[in-house]
Structure 1
């Protein structure tokens, strides 16, 4: 009997929405799968250690794992108007962050990479200490003055005003002004040793799971809300609408161009290792 594939992704609504049909056994022809929920910082580490078969990781981690994992062209998170935010307790210009204490959810995330790219130009002299905090603790820490600013992602775009916080920068807007490209955030990767036939099957299964979710969004509603970490239903809907889009179905040339632009620019600044030629060839293209 063949062992089930192992999969890890976050409990965020976009991931649970996309993978629900597969992980809950609703696709009769899909390979059997065993799911682990883990925050992105954890899945990045899992990929770096080669622990699971299929993972959702940060694009910032991709150059470190391409020897063992292939990039799948579907299921990930790219888009327009969906970038991370830099928040402060009061109105502040970017230059005010020079030497400041900044809270981030992960140093291995694409959000932190975008922050470093932005700060290299926008913050003369650079920021000060970077502190990793659990995502849900960042906005309270900024509000309470325990840090000077915070880097937030996902649903915080819709909720930061409840904490009385102010937006210093929208790093997605900054990226799009510079490049006119979508913002690469999260990638789906699969172990190369699975072999081409199974890699293609996994990509087809991810797309089938997404099609099922879109065809009958109410079918996954309870599952998504159950794992949404006390998110309000309307915020869950905004989250899915923003992060599940045409790039989730297929990266396409625009998506691949955006990924390469991000990783090449980061390599130029010494933030990531350079990509070898052909490194972003994907498996299971439409």
Structure 2
């Protein structure tokens, strides 16, 4: 059967995304006559490409989405929100965030939620600290710190499970700071869709993502090879920890508590001048 239409679908190689989208990528569920061209990139590349309107449906940092609301709207499924899952600031042992006049901070891209949270945190506790920010792909952050190319690093994804084995030391848990300040889950990543796509189609795609998540939970072994093929960290225990941390009830539906977290995040970003305020509605359907 000829598909109704083919849409580009982009997400990251991280285990939470490949777990969520395996059933769609592998056509393991009824796709309702739609076809998808799958693209996998690191999250900052996805952010940058979405700014050019490259994809119909794409994973984004919530921070990047905040600057792209004119082009994209949120889906209620596929997001990464939660408690105890935020970015970490790490360094070689014995360092303090204020022990140097102008420290170099490696971050996983300037358009990432991790960078925004880092800015919120520094403005709260180290206001006025002059920093040199060095953006790079997330998998290069820890090596940059280990090789003393950066004084500190903001790590995301599976980095939180392995930094100690690399001899690195935790300086701050940005997710814990956020939770202490807001009592809300931390909004990390979302799935966004171009605003010019028919709303009926969008709602169907949203349902397909929910079905793909349900399929993955019911058939975890069917997703493992796909996940492991694309994971930066191939250790099975790390992959499982990653999925358990980042795929949860918020991934199935953002819900009211998730909406409150997203709104609070954007209010802080607007107040700090990191993004411009938008009047566009958040959700596509």
User: Shorter chain as normaliser: what TM range?
Assistant: over 0.9
Structure 1 window deviating more from structure 2 (124-133 vs 68-77): it is 124-133
Alignment deviations for residues 245-285 of structure 1 (CA, whole Å, 9 cap, x no partner): 01000000100100110110111111111132x622x234x
In the alignment, the residues of structure 1 paired with residue 251 and residue 208 of structure 2 have an alpha-carbon distance, to the nearest angstrom, of: 13
The CA RMSD measured in Å over matched residues stands at 1.4
Q: Which residue of 2 aligns with 1:19?
A: 21
Matched residues in 2 for 1:165 and 1:249: separation? 34
Q: List gaps (5 residues or longer) in structure 2.
A: none
CA-to-aligned-CA distance 1:120-141 (integer Å, 9 cap, x gap):
1222422421112232222122
Give runs of aligned pairs for residues 183-202 of structure 1, distance below 5 A: 183-202=186-205
Count the aligned residue pairs.
Answer: 282
1:115 corresponds to 2:118: yes
Structure 1: gaps (5+ residues): none
**2:262 counterpart of 1:265:** no
Contact 1:74–1:251 (Cα < 8 Å) also in 2 = yes
**Structure 1 residues 128-165: Cα deviation after superposition (integer angstroms, max 9, x where no partner):** 21112232222122122221101100111110011111
**What is the TM-score with the length of structure 1 in the denominator?**
0.95
Asked whether the 8 Å contact 1:184–1:258 carries over to 2, the reply is yes
Among 123, 128, 131, the residue aligned to 1:125: 128
Q: 2:185 aligns with which of 182, 185, 200?
A: 182
User: 2:89 aligned with 1:86, yes or no?
Assistant: yes
Which of the residues 222, 226, 246 maps onto 1:223? 226
Kindly indicate whether the alpha-carbon contact (under 8 Å) linking 1:263 and 1:275 is maintained by their aligned counterparts in 2: no
SS of 1:255's equivalent? helix
Counterparts of 2:278 and 2:195, CA distance in 1? 17
Partner of 2:63: 60
> Which residue among 173, 176, 196 is the counterpart of 1:173?
176
Cα distance in structure 1, aligned partners of 2:201 and 2:248? 25
Q: 2:30 aligned to 28, 31, 40, which one?
A: 28
Q: Which residue of 2 aligns with 1:283?
A: 284
Write the distance in 2 (CA, Å) between the matches of 1:137 and 1:67: 31
Please list the CA deviations of residues 162-209 of structure 1 after superposition, one character each: whole Å capped at 9, or x if unmatched. Answer: 111111100000000000000000010111211111010010000000
How far apart, in 2, do the equivalents of 1:54 and 1:258 lie?
Answer: 22
Residues 114 and 196 of structure 1, relative CA distance in 2, 3 Å threshold: same
